Amino acid sequence: MQPDLNRVIEQVSKEKGMDRQVIIEAIESAMLSAARRTFGQKQIEAKFNHEIGEVELFEIKTVVQTVTDPETEITLADARANMDPEAQEGDELLSKLPATSFGRIAAQVAKQSVIQKVREAERELIYNEFRDRKGEIFSGIVQRIERKNIIVNLGRTDAVLPEKEQIPWERYRQGDRIRAFVLDVEMSHKGPQIVLSRTHPGFLIKLFEQEAPEVYEGIIEIKGAAREPGSRAKIAVHSTDPDVDPVGACVGMKGTRVQAVVQELRGERVDIVPWTPDPAEYVCRAILPAKVSKIILDEDDHAMEIIVPDDQLSLAIGKKGQNVRLASRLTAWRLDVRSESEIELERTRALESLTGMTGIGDLTAELLYQQGYKSAADVAEADEATLAELEGIEADKAQAILQAAQDYVDEQAAAEADPQEPVDTPDGPAGQTGSPQSALVGQAATGVDGAQAASEEV
């Protein structure tokens, strides 16, 4: 060992950023391990002497009346004669051991042990540092690429950016500078394993914190974020100060703030949505730029049916369903987008089915439809008490509606199970209605349509 370890400890402490006491404890532990290899079963204690810069070894012996283990015990008479005149039975006395007693192998073991202890302490220090900073953005240098995973040098340690956490079409070379979000930190036998991400929604939120001081200071809160990395993203913002526009603050003067975020995300388009506690209004804002005609909310299934004008349907759904998919993730509601014409067609068919029941008029059918009953089969599966709770429907009427629905469903099932055989009529063969002249007209019309279709095909 060096004659003065103080300078060595000080240097290692600065280089590794470690506490001085941690290094001293590592050296003491290493010296103790080496001493046990040399001195066998003796009880030994290692202490670092700051004044001389050395680790001193002490043999510990317990004062007893009768010695049973000479390696660890000493008689009271010998203790008072050779070590401490005031020794008492049961005391533990220390006697310094010569450090020169170490052999070459023991010294090598001590050296390796110190290196190992310092390395373990450094790993623990790095792990604690990054564990506490999980969810932050770090900047590093691309060290190498292994099986499409990017190894990033963060200064004191390396981190990995897995392929699935990389933005699609993004390419890096060795030596490139990269910014990423600390996704996970775990300790393994190889040391701290730091996983980075550039696709996590948290990366988008942290970028806005860096670009918009109002977000960093908490004046503007980012309530949620949803991403399809490299393509499009949505964030919901809310201002705690009524005088601060949350959307404008995130966009910045002439869009400088949001453009800086978009540039970092390699052109990923970001929609900034003003947050509101009203779920329906929140969804209407999240589905922008499409305009919403009506929303039907189902709290039990945590779902919403969004009705939009026909010309807004493709805009609401987005390319390959991207817009509604992001809106659903942002709001945490299951969304179903439908056009007005589709809803009207469904309504027409539902009213036809409902009015087909005996004793059900247009008003009752409309009432049932508004309550979510879209066919006689839906009504037949309902509970009488549930129907009686509807406005304008009393208990006796609910029973009659339920009976009519069940009769209608039974009739439909019987008709499908036992279809009647077609019979010839005076008007013509079975299955043909109307006069021969009307049949000829129909054939002629079909011929014209066929000729026109053939002409259009040519």
- Determine the pLDDT at residue 8: 75
Q: In percent, how much of the chain has pLDDT > 90?
A: 27
3-state per-residue secondary structure call for the chain: CCCCHHHHHHHHHHHHCCCHHHHHHHHHHHHHHHHHHHHCCCEEEEEEECCCCEEEEEEEEEEECCCCCCCCEEEHHHHHHHCCCCCCCCCEEEEEECHHHCCHHHHHHHHHHHHHHHHHHHHHHHHHHHHHCCCCEEEEEEEEEECCEEEEECCCCEEEECHHHCCCCCCCCCCCEEEEEEEEEEEECCEEEEEEECCCHHHHHHHHHHHCHHHHCCCEEEEEEEEECCCEEEEEEEECCCCCCHHHHHHCHHHHHHHHHHHHCCCCEEEEEECCCCHHHHHHHHCCCCCCCEEEEECCCCEEEEEECHHHHHHHHCHHHHHHHHHHHHHCCEEEEEEHHHHHHHHHHHHHHHHCCCCCCHHHHHHHHHCCCCCHHHHHCCCHHHHHCCCCCCHHHHHHHHHHHHHHHHHHHHHHHCCCCCCCECCECCCCCCCHHHHHHHHHHHHHHHHHHHHHHC
Mean predicted confidence (pLDDT) in 2-26: 72
Predicted pLDDT at 27 = 78
Partners of 222 in beta bridges: 237
Residue written as tokens 């209605």? 433
CA separation for the pair 254, 433 (Å, rounded): 71
Residue 200 clears pLDDT 90, i.e. is over it = yes
CATH code for the structural domain at 5-127: 3.30.1480.10
Query: Above 90 in pLDDT, residue 204?
Result: yes
pLDDT at 431: 42
pTM for the structure as a whole: 0.66
* pLDDT single digits (tens) 243-298: 999 999 999 898 899 999 999 998 899 999 999 999 999 999 999 888 898 898 88
**CATH no. for 133-197:** 2.40.50.140
pLDDT band, residue 366 (cuts 50/70/90): confident
Which residues, at least 6 apart from 395, have a Cβ–Cβ distance to it below 8 Å?
384, 388
Superfamily of domain 356-417: 5' to 3' exonuclease, C-terminal subdomain (1.10.150.20)
Q: Can you tell me the distance from the alpha carbon of 357 to that of 435, in angstroms, rounded to the nearest whole number?
A: 33
For residue 4, the model assigns a pLDDT of 59
Average pLDDT, the chain: 78
pLDDT score recorded for residue 107:
60
Query: What pLDDT shows up at residue 112?
Result: 73
Per-residue pLDDT reduced to its tens digit, 123-134: 888 888 888 888
- Domain locations in the chain as residue ranges: 5-127, 133-197, 291-349, 356-417
**Comparison of pLDDT for 99 and 199, the residue scoring more:** 199
Read off the pLDDT of residues 35-51 as tens digits, 9 standing for 90 and up.
Answer: 777 776 677 777 877 77
CATH class of 291-349: alpha beta
When pLDDT is cut at 50, 70 and 90, the band that residue 453 belongs to is very low
pLDDT at position 178 is 92
The per-residue pLDDT for range 382-396, each reduced to its tens digit, is: 766 777 767 667 666
**Section 87-113 average pLDDT:** 68
**What is the structure's pLDDT at 118?**
76
- How high is the pLDDT of residue 179? 92
Rounded Cα distance between 132 and 78, Å, is: 55
- Which residues, 6+ apart, have CB-to-CB distance to 64 below 8 Å? 73, 74, 75, 76, 89, 90
pLDDT in tens, 215-254: 999 899 999 999 999 899 999 999 999 899 999 999 989 8
Sequence-distant (≥ 6) Cβ neighbours of residue 34 within 8 angstroms? 102, 106, 107, 109, 110, 113
